[in-house]
Homo-oligomer: A and B are copies of this chain.
Amino acid sequence: MALLVVGSVALDSVETPFGTRGEVLGGSATYFSTCASFFGPVRLVAVVGEDFPEEHVAFLRSRGVDLAGLSRRPGRTFRWSGRYEFDLNQAHTLDTQLNVFADFRPELPESYRDSTHVFLGNIDPDLQLRVVEQVRSPRFVAADTMNFWIASKRPSLLQALRRVDLLFVNDAEARQLAGEHNVVRAARAILSFGPKAVVVKRGEYGALYFSGEEVFAASAYPLPELFDPTGAGDSFAGGFMGYLARRSAVDHGVMRRAIVLGGVLASFAVERFSVERLRDLTTDEIRRRYGEFRRLTHFEDLELDVLA
């Protein structure tokens, strides 16, 4: 089993009510691969510019991320800057400089083509398709997308969705993609587009999973300190896919544990800026917080005598 991610490796500048950070390590493939690396190796496909700090490359390598697919191109690295108000569910983009990312045409190294699990980070759906077509026989493909692609490249996105086993979207994106306000009916509409499953991410409220008749509601971990939501969605996907790639059989129980682990990794990622919290995170902490998620949400059967 081998896990592949395609996405961005970026330098982020972030303002939140709790502070600011300039040009720190970010990008969907960064968060994803760092979080997935707690479960096993990850193969990364992305592009950076000549200015990308070597220390970040060293960090990803130290996490066991295979960087054969990380190409360094002439020019500057992709930069994103954004601000969060007190409502940390909502990112306000201040500036996007695509730089080398503008001409990103992902090419998989030959050594990646036997990947079994694939995460298509939030990039142009034509590029997502290009990646999945280079994988010989993927067993499980998950994808992320965003409002921009839903609005501007809908036909390509729908084509990509037919190759995807699971789609990650937030609730606004689910509504936009389905043209339906009710989240349950939006999820069912998305399933009719091709994916076998959909995870609707709801920020600080958790996530809903839909697949056929199966519905799972996962709570987010109520954090007293939440510094920077950047990368929460990709951390979620990283925890989810990292775990899934370790399981030979997939059933509803495995999917539920994968979703909870997504929430666990996301809950750590947002505790500090950038990937700071993930640098010293231990597998014991992951296991402990998984247990806290269970204690947080579980309850017993109802007694027989309580209804009149």
Contact = CB atoms under 8 A, between A and B. Distances in A.
Interface of A: 17, 37-40, 64, 86, 181-185, 188, 202, 204-206, 208, 215-220, 222-226, 243, 246-247, 253, 256-257, 259-261, 283, 286-287, 290-291, 294, 296-303, 305-308
Contacts of A297: 216-219, 297-298
**Copies per complex of this chain:** 2
Contacts of A299: 216, 218, 253, 256-257, 259-260, 294
A133 to B, nearest CB: 29
Contact of A243 (B247, B257, B306): B306
A296 B222 contact: no
A208 B301 CA distance: 19
- Greatest chain B CB density within 10 A among A202, A259, A307 is at A307
Nearest to A253: B300
A290 B308 contact: no
Given A206-B219, A226-B182, A302-B287, A38 B257 contact: no
Nearest to A63: B308
B205 A222 contact: no
Contact of A39 (B225, B259, B306): B306
A308 B184 contact: no
Nearest to A36: B308
Nearest to A182: B224
A249 to B, nearest CB: 12
A216 B287 CA distance: 19
A290 B39 CA distance: 35
A219 B219 contact: yes
A85 to B, nearest CB: 9
A223 B38 contact: no
By Cβ-Cβ distance, the 10 closest A-B pairs, closest first, are A217-B219, A205-B205, A283-B307, A256-B299, A184-B224, A86-B181, A184-B222, A246-B306, A217-B296, A290-B302
B307 A38 contact: yes
Nearest to A299: B256
Contacts of A64: 308
Contact of A296 (B182, B215, B246): B215
